[in-house]
Structure 1
């Protein structure tokens, strides 16, 4: 079989990107587009090892784990070894599931020519077939994630009400152990809110704003946060009110079941 480098890279990039997006949903992480694309590009570039002379299975295994670790770090961040290990485990699990679903759907539609060499799979596949099979695999994975993880996710969702200058904004918040942001001077926990929602109640007084250092999956840098008059958080066996908190606008939109990420410190108080 003739292997074309451009087809190899493009196919792997698309597949990797869908795997990363599905992994992010399972992990409950809001992905930065740049980081997701960078991670997918790393995986696509790593597939070029298929052009090297045959290497032993042990090196293939080491290489795949190293490459997957680099992809997980690029997409989801590496603030702690525990978080990186969890991200890597989910990424590898989704990769295996994705590969199985992709092959099954492909053979049901039309038998394919597949080459497996140096731990890399090359599909002799048309662009139309690629779009059909990868889309089907992605939605099947989302269905799997919803059925398997929805009950766990519900336990982490809270009703959040933010009050600023007489205005009130209600939203759903997800308590995420990966969201440990705090305002550096006061040590107050931070709620990362969808940027469009945050703009609705953002105060005009500049004195209420603080720069919050940010080393999360949304990228390194800083978020601009403000102190509300009061935040009310309610959920299963929890009802709490506090003004010792900051609201930061996310860099990327947060849509879906929740519109904010909560520092677990806020719900652990209850």
Structure 2
């Protein structure tokens, strides 16, 4: 009979859940908030204690897995909208079942003594160094697959944007659009267009005129304390910039539009 160490069980499933949440965030282009992801991963680790329970019927395991997934996705990414939440949920469940299916397949094929699969929970009785190397290898492989998928799908470039208003920091995804030539009329500073719901209580003393194929209009804007952007391992900063708020950005993948050329990349 395999001896199960609870501390190893919790640590292994914490990192497995965190990996699945990171993949879900990458696939659905959701901001990765470390605290929320870690809280969700801890909840996932706590659920792994179901491995210590007597063997449960398959339908109970499936329903409990879905119920826990509902909570984990909500904890990691919030609700936002029904469409966004369901997309995150489906991606997380798909990644979960693929990973579990792979592990169960290996377990059924080779019957390794150091792997225990029960009630959809997984336990690896392996040295810490081996677990770390396997986790890193799995993460790198997942990122490579994701990059190939994004290249094949021809997705538009999205950047991780952080706007520091001085009172708080707002993180979101921004569409990299070199056609965004908006400028603040007095200073000539570049303008980032963001969804108004990101800054519900922000005072916007500046007015930015704009012109599109569909007509002309005005956007109200404010000058943030600092704006930074991340694209993979690259980090970009910008000097004077304004953030204009719009009601017309209604996309599940991004909440702002920015010209990537305005940033100085490190």
TM-score bucket of the superposed structures, by smaller chain: 0.5 to 0.7
| Unaligned 5+ runs, structure 1 | 174-178, 184-189, 191-210, 214-223
Normalised to the residue count of structure 1, the TM-score between the two structures is 0.65
Q: Which moved more, 1:48-57 or 1:155-164?
A: 155-164
2:132 and 2:16 mapped to 1: Cα distance? 10
1:137 and 1:65 mapped to 2: Cα distance? 23
Name the CA shift for 1:249/1:24 in 2 (closer, same or farther; >3 Å). Answer: farther
Aligned residue number for residue 90 of structure 2: 89
The 3-state SS of whatever aligns with 2:117 is: strand
Counterpart contact for 1:161–1:233, Cα < 8 Å: no
**Superposition pairs of residues 169-248 of structure 1, within 5 angstroms:** 169=190, 181-182=195-196, 212=200, 224=202, 226=204, 229-230=207-208, 243-246=218-221
Name the CA shift for 1:12/1:35 in 2 (closer, same or farther; >3 Å). Answer: same
Aligned residue number for residue 65 of structure 1: 66
2:63 and 2:226 mapped to 1: Cα distance? 35
- Check if 1:168 corresponds to 2:189: yes
1:19 and 1:251 mapped to 2: Cα distance? 31
Counterpart contact for 2:205–2:221, Cα < 8 Å: yes
1:256 and 1:123 mapped to 2: Cα distance? 34
Name the CA shift for 1:138/1:103 in 2 (closer, same or farther; >3 Å). Answer: farther
Q: CA deviation at 1:57?
A: 0.8
Q: CA deviation at 1:133?
A: 1.1
Aligned residue number for residue 124 of structure 2: 123
Q: CA deviation at 1:182?
A: 2.4
1:135 and 1:105 mapped to 2: Cα distance? 19
Name the CA shift for 1:5/1:256 in 2 (closer, same or farther; >3 Å). Answer: same
Aligned residue number for residue 25 of structure 1: 26
**1:96-126 CA deviation, whole Å, 9 max, x = no partner?**
44456778999xxxx6621111121111111
- Check if 1:154 corresponds to 2:142: no
Name the CA shift for 1:251/1:230 in 2 (closer, same or farther; >3 Å). Answer: closer
Q: CA deviation at 1:249?
A: 6.4
The 3-state SS of whatever aligns with 1:66 is: helix
Q: Which moved more, 1:158-167 or 1:12-21?
A: 158-167
Name the CA shift for 1:84/1:36 in 2 (closer, same or farther; >3 Å). Answer: same
Name the CA shift for 1:97/1:132 in 2 (closer, same or farther; >3 Å). Answer: farther
Counterpart contact for 1:161–1:231, Cα < 8 Å: no
1:70 and 1:4 mapped to 2: Cα distance? 26
Aligned residue number for residue 172 of structure 2: none
Aligned residue number for residue 265 of structure 1: 248
Aligned residue number for residue 230 of structure 2: 255
Q: CA deviation at 1:230?
A: 3.3
2:26 and 2:149 mapped to 1: Cα distance? 12
Q: CA deviation at 1:82?
A: 2.4
Counterpart contact for 2:210–2:219, Cα < 8 Å: no
